[in-house]
Structure 1
Amino acid sequence: MHADNLSYDEAVRIVKEMIDKTFKTEFLMALPVTVRPLASARISTLVAGTKKYAADPLARTTAITRMISHIIRLGIDNGRVKRMIEHVNDMHDRSGVEDEDRIYILSILVVWQRRMIDLYGWRRLTPVEVNALVVTYEVIGRRMHLECMPGTYEDYEHFVDGYERQHFREEQINIQMAGLVLTQIRAMSGGIGGRIALAVQLYSMDELLRKSIGYPALRPVSRAVARAVIRLRRMALRLFRGKGWHPARLAT
């Protein structure tokens, strides 16, 4: 199958396979992607103004991600999915979320999900898998009334990197909002395995993200240890894949 000739249905099937099987543990370890929008003061300020945020910050932060999960599993024309899209669109309209911010939130699910898998997954994404992400989110963006979605993966990268250069900076509102989410995630990370997985994800955050949400830069020793743990995890995934084991068995 050629990467440039994917239909939407084919693209969604490939993305679903990535989420459910091929890269299940990589999608589970998505904390650097989850908190990324909160490194933008414009987004953090809007999120802080919602009534339900303090009660359940993680649910509010991941609202679009959960909507997309339903789209992938139920289909974009499913009645429940249509109502969810309408609800999210209405919520964004009432909150005054700018189209640029909406496009950014969708775009990081293409760019940073790909980057995290390429860096820490058991293998890199293929061109077909990358294009499946592009096709899927371009259609989802149109259903969210976003007519200027990037057209290629390179366009997504250019948009995301430009947005982050312009909007990412250390602000108190970012520190506060991201802190609420990370506190909730820590409380949910039970057991030694959960705490180790969380620590690895925190160490995997890039320096721009860390600085923008108030995390200190990593010391060289800490960075080296984190990279060693991630490399060992990747080697283990490759080993077990070769023996017919499913990566989800190593999920924490």
Structure 2
Amino acid sequence: MKRFAFRDEIHRLDPEADCVRIMQILNAHEFPWDMGRALGIALYRTYAVPAIGELLGGTGEFTGRTQKRYDDTALILNGMMRYGFGPGPGRDALRRMNQMHRSYDISNDDYRYVLSTFVVMPVRWLNDRGYGWRRLSDHEVSAVVHYYRRLGRYMGIKDVPETYEGFRDLMDSYEEEHFAYTEGGRAVSDATLDLMVTFYPPRAARAARRFSMAILDESLIETFRYDPPSRAWRRAADTALKLRAGVVRRMRPREEPLWAEANPNIRSYPDGHDLGRIGTFPAGCPVAHDVDPVAHEELYGPGGAAPAGAAGAQDPESAEASADGRA
């Protein structure tokens, strides 16, 4: 297989209709390590939003069971990407994510912001920072946008941006307006960084911590009130990641997909997992929600999460096609 065979396959696909397949190629073949790092930073930066950081810190899950929360998040997101949103494991993962979200009073604005980080951070990591072995094309960026717009629809998020520029502007403006220090956000940040260090040999723990801090942007360092990394560490981290990109560019393409289950850093389920049974199961749903988390009754069964007066069960893919006039 030639080095750019997957890129060429992507450009034969439609960025909207085939967005799931394109995301599978990007995440499991072309950039598995880079996408993991970019999405990790995407989730990490949400802790700097007080409503999100305090919520996560208050549950105790992200500080007391950090490894499991890391694993559950990776496996659920991976499950949707690997299997798509139709019946089967992918829909089980979507259902599980929506069930967890329904237990908390999360605003539509916060949902939109988190979704925007998933769109923007991979592009910034690969293209803007130059850490990818190649750049994402506009065609590929469009597929990323369509994938997360589809996910946003299945989560019941309103007013989702239509373009990459819309997602980028939303993320930047939301962070500028909302980033602020909270005890809960700092606690979740500390726990996450502590977990990252365990992914390396003990003798490299100190360097790993400094490297992790060096790739965070100044807004995060300032918000969490960390001592800023030195210029030397900033340069070293940037140089190392760009050198890695140059090496990967000369490697053979990854013909076998690399999914989250094969990641040695995911440790909570050595005997396997059921996407419909992982994650948190908070007792009850004590709050009123201003966001209907999913508009598709079949994800929960009759009467599960469908709003009053909603239509009967319909496959998400069929529902989307009908909405777009393709069915």
Q: TM-score range by the shorter chain?
A: 0.7 to 0.9
Confirm whether residue 108 of structure 1 aligns to residue 117 of structure 2.
Answer: yes
Q: Which residue of 1 aligns with 2:7?
A: none
Q: Is the 8 A contact 2:62 2:191 kept in 1?
A: no
Give the drift of 1:148.
1.4
Confirm whether residue 128 of structure 1 aligns to residue 139 of structure 2.
Answer: yes
Give the drift of 1:104.
1.4
Give the drift of 1:167.
1.2
Confirm whether residue 29 of structure 1 aligns to residue 40 of structure 2.
Answer: no
Q: Which residue of 2 aligns with 1:15?
A: 23
Worse-superposed segment, 151-160 or 84-93: 84-93
1:187 aligned to which of 177, 191, 198: 198
- Give the unaligned 5+ runs of structure 1: none
Q: Which residue of 1 aligns with 2:165?
A: 154
Change (3 A) 1:6 1:29: closer
Confirm whether residue 235 of structure 1 aligns to residue 246 of structure 2.
Answer: yes
Worse-superposed segment, 51-60 or 142-151: 51-60
Q: Which residue of 2 aligns with 1:70?
A: 79
Q: Which residue of 2 aligns with 1:84?
A: 93
CA–CA distance in 2 between the matches of 1:227 and 1:246?
24
Confirm whether residue 43 of structure 1 aligns to residue 52 of structure 2.
Answer: yes
- Secondary structure of the residue aligned to 1:159 is helix
Change (3 A) 1:2 1:147: farther
Q: Which residue of 1 aligns with 2:296?
A: none
Q: Deviations over 1:149-203 (max 9, x none)?
A: 1100010001000110011123332211110111122123336788866654431
Change (3 A) 1:165 1:214: same
Q: Is the 8 A contact 1:34 1:61 kept in 2?
A: no
Work out which of the two has the higher radius of gyration on C-alpha atoms and give 1 or 2.
2
Change (3 A) 1:6 1:194: farther
Q: Which residue of 2 aligns with 1:117?
A: 126
Question: Structure 2 length as normaliser, TM-score?
Answer: 0.67
Q: Which residue of 2 aligns with 1:94?
A: 103
Question: Structure 1 length as normaliser, TM-score?
Answer: 0.84
Give the drift of 1:13.
0.8
Q: Which is richer in helix?
A: 1
Report the count of equivalent residues: 247
Q: Is the 8 A contact 2:49 2:178 kept in 1?
A: yes
Letter of the 2:220 counterpart: L
Q: Is the 8 A contact 2:34 2:132 kept in 1?
A: yes
- Secondary structure of the residue aligned to 2:167 is helix
Worse-superposed segment, 52-61 or 226-235: 52-61
Give the drift of 1:62.
6.8
- Taking only aligned residues, the RMSD between alpha carbons, in angstroms, comes to 3.0
CA–CA distance in 2 between the matches of 1:24 and 1:194?
23
Give the drift of 1:211.
1.7
Letter of the 1:214 counterpart: R
CA–CA distance in 1 between the matches of 2:117 and 2:12?
20
Worse-superposed segment, 226-235 or 70-79: 226-235
- Give the unaligned 5+ runs of structure 2: 1-9, 265-327
Letter of the 1:88 counterpart: M
CA–CA distance in 2 between the matches of 1:148 and 1:99?
9
CA–CA distance in 2 between the matches of 1:141 and 1:32?
20
Change (3 A) 1:66 1:112: same
